[in-house]
């Protein structure tokens, strides 16, 4: 079986062209492939499959082998993969677990713009915001983010009430570093560790920053793996035309 390795701001994925529908889906097998010592090593695995009425279907699995909710950076990487295969041109419509997505491929600079789902419900609490941007996200503002123990604090929140009864949550810690500028670190469920970036996570952080700090139209976000940008329109009921924008790069390919 041929596989490819892609990364988007350090969020890395094993990617397989599964238009034949022959990939042997198995939680232990996928977890093995994603293992950084005994497998290829990745934050997750994605299958590109056929889907009637769409350019392709995105099927995403967490690093622990469980089928995951939407992964924003994964979606951008799969769009790049489809473009590299010649399946799509510079625009595409595909289907994922959270519904339909559109995306645009730019070659100069080499970025993928992925349209995320509309967000019309945000739970605003005293110390955190909570919302679903394709995956559930907890957003908390902190100081001295670079010295935080993101793994331990994120793990504690991920398994705490009221989130454990909802299947857990991803956890984002945010520091405001300028006008329309954030730094974000994320603990991801399914990976059960801090990752270099999280697309649905930075999307949640950008919308939260609009809600709390009035950041309008766009937010530039620094993550461990680089920079991402979120653009959005505020509506009476929430947010629409939300785009996750950033690089997606093929790292290597190989045979299993």
Distance separating alpha carbons of residues 219 and 213, to the nearest angstrom: 11
Active site residue 34: no
Nearest to 228 by CA among 199, 195, 192, 249: 199
Name beta bridge partners: 49: 57
Distance separating alpha carbons of residues 119 and 107, to the nearest angstrom: 29
Cis-peptide into 87, omega within 30 deg: no
Supply 98's token pair: 């959270």
34, 71, 77, 205: which is the annotated catalytic residue? 71
Active site residue 198: yes
Please state the three-class secondary structure of 94-110 as a single string. Answer: EEECCEEEEEEEEECCE
DSSP state at residue 118: P
Nearest to 171 by CA among 139, 205, 126: 139
Supply 146's token pair: 């670079």
Tell me the Cα Rg of the chain: 17
* Residues 247, 9 contacting (CB under 8 angstroms): yes
Pair type for strands 44-49 and 11-17: parallel
- Residue indicated by tokens 């093995």: 32
34, 77, 198, 205: which is the annotated catalytic residue? 198
Residues belonging to the active site: 71, 198
């Amino acid at each position: 079986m041929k596989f490819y390795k892609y990364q988007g701001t350090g969020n890395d994925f094993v990617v397989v062209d599964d238009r034949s529908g022959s990939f042997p889906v198995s939680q232990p097998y996928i977890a093995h492939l994603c293992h950084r010592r005994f497998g290829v090593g990745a934050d997750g695995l994605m299958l590109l499959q056929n889907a009637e009425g769409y350019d392709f279907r995105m099927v995403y699995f967490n690093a622990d082998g469980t089928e995951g909710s939407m992964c924003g950076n994964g979606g951008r990487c799969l769009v790049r993969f489809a473009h590299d295969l010649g399946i799509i041109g510079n625009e595409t419509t595909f289907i994922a677990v959270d519904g339909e997505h559109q995306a645009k491929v730019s070659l100069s600079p080499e970025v993928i713009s992925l349209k995320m789902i509309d967000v019309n419900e945000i739970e605003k609490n005293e110390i955190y915001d909570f919302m679903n941007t394709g995956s559930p996200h907890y957003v908390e503002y902190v100081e001295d983010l670079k010295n935080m123990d993101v793994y331990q604090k994120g793990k504690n929140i991920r398994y705490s009430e009221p989130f454990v009864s909802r299947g857990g949550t991803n956890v984002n810690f945010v520091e405001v570093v300028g006008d329309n500028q954030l730094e974000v670190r994320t603990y991801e469920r399914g990976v059960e560790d801090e990752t270099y970036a999280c697309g649905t996570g930075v999307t949640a952080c950008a919308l939260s920053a609009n809600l709390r700090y009035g950041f309008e139209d766009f937010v530039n976000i620094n993550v461990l793996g680089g920079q991402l940008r979120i653009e959005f329109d505020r509506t009476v009921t929430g947010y629409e035309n939300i785009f996750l924008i950033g690089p997606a790069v093929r790292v290597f390919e190989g045979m299993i």
